[in-house]
Amino acid sequence: MDLFSPASFGDLSLSNRVTMAPLTRVRADAGDVPGDVVVEHYRQRATVGLIVTEGTYPTQEGKGYTGQPGIVTDEQVAGWKRVADAVHAEGGTIVMQVMHAGRVSHTEVTGTDRIVAPSAIAIDDETRTPNGKTAYPVPHELTTEEVRQTVQDIVTASKRAVLEAGLDGVELHSANGYLLHEFLSPVSNVRTDEYGGSPAARARIGIETATAVAEAIGAGRVGMRISPMHNIQDVAETDLADVTATYEALLNGVAPLGLAYLSVLHAEPRGELVQHLRARFGGPVVLNSGFGVVTDKAEAEELVGGGHADAVAVGRMVIANPDLVARWQGDTELNEPNPATFYAEGATGYTDYPTLETVSN
C-alpha cells in the first residue's frame, strides 16, 4: 500500500489514505448550526482521502462544549447539508463523528437539567462553561432503559447525518473519555446491570450501537473510533489484561457487521495491543499516534507502507495545511499550526491558512 493510493472502506471511496482526524474547533453559529465559516473550512480540506468531522452531538444532553455543532434540529441538519454539498463539489468524502459527551459536560453547556453517564461518578477536574470554569457535576446514572434510548438517539442522529444531511457515513465516537468510552472502563462504569461488570457487559452498548446504526444506514457507511489506554478525562484503563479482554469483546461483537473502518488512537500504533486489535477487527484500520507528537509525512508513509495501517488520521498538520496531500506529495514547505487559534472564534486560524495556490499567486 502507498499513502497516496486510493482505497475503498466499505461504501466509502478514498482518493488517498490521508484522513482528517476529528477536530473539535467550536465554531458553530447560534443554535449550534454549522455556518459559512464551517462550510468553508471543510471545503478547503476536501482533497484528503476522508474527512471525519468534529464530534457532533446526537442529543442535547450529549453536548460537551459551547460552540460544538449538533445534528438534532432541522437547522443543524441543513447546516451540515451545506458542508456535505461543499465537500462533494470538490470531490471529497466526508463522515460525521457522532459524539455523545456523557459526563464530559455541564448543565450550563447543555442547557438541560442533568448530565448523564454510565455511573454517578464525576470527573475530578474543572470544565469551561459560558460562565467560567467550574467543577464537573456528578452525572445522572442512566437507567437500563435510558441506555437503550441513548442507543436509539445515536441511531436517529446517524440517520439524519446520512439520509437527510447527505454525509457519506458516520464515525461512532467510542474514545477519549466520552460516553461510549466511559462504559468500557471499570473505573467510570461500576454498573451492576447488563451494561456493567464484565468486559463483555461493558462492551455491550458499543456493540448494540454499532449494530443498530449499521442496520439503519448500512454497515459500509459506519466507522468506529477507539482509544484504548489513552487514560484521558478520568477514563482510566491501566490493567492490560482487562483492556485486552474488553476491546476483544467489543471487536468480536462488531467485526461480523462489516463496518467501513476502525479508527484507533494510541501512542504506539505499531505496538502489540493495537496490531492485535487490528487483526481482531479484520477490516480497514485507520491509525492515529495520539496527541503527543505531530504526525509527519515520514510516519504516515511508514504506517501505511509498512503494513501497520490502511490509512492514517492527521490532525494538526491538516489544520494548518488545507492542501496537505499536495504538499506531502510535492515535498513542499508546510504551514505551522497556531495552537492559540485552535479553540477560538471566526476565520482566524481556521480558514485563513494559505494554500500552495494562494502562495504562488
DSSP 164-180: IS--SEEEEEE-TTSHH
Hunting for cell 471511496 — which residue is that? 13
Residues with Cβ within 8 Å of 323's Cβ and at least 6 positions away in sequence, in order, are 44, 47, 355, 356, 357
What residue type is 153 in one-letter code? D
Whether the Cβ atoms of residue 172 and residue 212 lie closer than 8 Å to each other: no
Across the strands, what pairs with 232?
A: 235
- The per-residue pLDDT for 361 is 60
The per-residue pLDDT for 295 is: 92
CB 82 within 8 A of CB 34: yes
Per-residue DSSP letter, 220:
G
Retrieve residue 39's grid coordinates. 462550510
Task: Walk along the chain (361 residues) in steps of 10 and give the mean pLDDT of each run.
Answer: 96 98 97 98 98 98 98 98 98 98 98 98 95 96 98 98 98 98 98 98 98 98 97 95 98 98 96 97 92 88 96 97 98 96 95 88 60
On whether the CB atoms of residues 127 and 102 are closer than 8 A, the answer is: no
Beta bridge partners of 70: 57
Q: Where are the beta strands (DSSP E) in 146-241?
A: 169-174, 222-226
Cα distance between residue 76 and residue 98, in whole Å: 13
Distances (CA, A) of 153 to 158, 209, 213: 9, 10, 10
Positions marked catalytic: 178
| pLDDT for res 289 | 79
